[in-house]
Structure 1
Amino acid sequence: MRTSHDTFHLAIPARDLDETEQFYVRQLGCHLARRYADRITLNFFGDQLVCHLSPDEPRREPRLYPRHFGVTFARRDDFDALLRLVEIRKVPLFLPLATRFNGTVEEHHTIVLRDPTDNLLEFKHYEDPRMMY
């Protein structure tokens, strides 16, 4: 079972490492852990995100399903802080803030961002914390 000492690891493509670093570090506030000629490693909200240089990654119009990643915030304050950061830093949106499953136990607030390589990042918060998983 995962504990707070463990870190989830995700690797994604990046067409340009400078643009990728700009987005994740300067816009989202992630911590740059390491940078090499072929990848950057980030502290992505407490987990490890590795962006591998993939200049030949084909351009495509991204779709939210089936491939996206992000963070489900346990605390509404943390979700709201991210929303403020996105607004202040004018982070590119794929889908604006929305409420899904309104009036049900699965009700949650969500926003979807688009990185420079067209990877989609969903950030959300459930009103009922039991719905996080």
Structure 2
Amino acid sequence: MKEKLRPFHLAISVDDIPTNRKFYREVSGCVEGRSSDYWVDLNFFDHQLVIHYKEKPKVEYSHSNPVDGKEVAVPHFGVVLDSKTFDYISERIKEHQINFIIEPYIRFEGEVGEQATLFINDPAGNTIEFKAFKNPDQLFEN
């Protein structure tokens, strides 16, 4: 019997709680959980994302790796979505006039692991990847 994926917990730093709270709620559709003046729990697609206040974080991505001829920031985090939700998030990003770091495109087209992917930064500079597999069962296949 295949075990259900367990939610991850990720805590990231932001330099402005209200701006980032709005971004994650309005763009990503996150539902807010517990919070204080210094942190906010968010339901990030059934995973726990916590934004923590840190004065002017030095989130500088001086390192990237080439992937499909594009430079992917390291570190970054993300979520695997179904295609319908991926399209919805992509449209939300456009509606909110957020610049794509890497615009939506298809990786491994016609191959095992075919997926739509895009990258953006949150207002604090944290890089986020959204992706959707054509066949979700191929998440870990090569």
1:70 matched to 2:78? The reply is yes
Name whichever of 56-65 and 29-38 sits farther off. 56-65
In structure 1, the residue matched to 2:27 is: 27
Cα deviations by residue, 1:100-130 (Å, 9 ceiling, x for unpaired): 1223212211011100111111011111222
In structure 2, the residue matched to 1:123 is: 130
Name whichever of 38-47 and 58-67 sits farther off. 58-67
* Length-normalised TM-score, structure 1: 0.84
Contact 2:61 2:73 in 1 (8 A): no
Structure 1 gaps, min length 5: none
Q: CA RMSD for the aligned pairs?
A: 2.1
Name whichever of 116-125 and 20-29 sits farther off. 20-29
Structure 2 gaps, min length 5: 65-71
Which structure has the higher relative contact order (CA within 8 Å, separation 6+)? 1
Following superposition, the deviation at residue 57 of structure 1 comes to 1.4
The counterpart of 1:113, out of the listed 109, 117, 120, is 120
Following superposition, the deviation at residue 61 of structure 1 comes to 4.2
Percent identity, aligned pairs only, is: 29
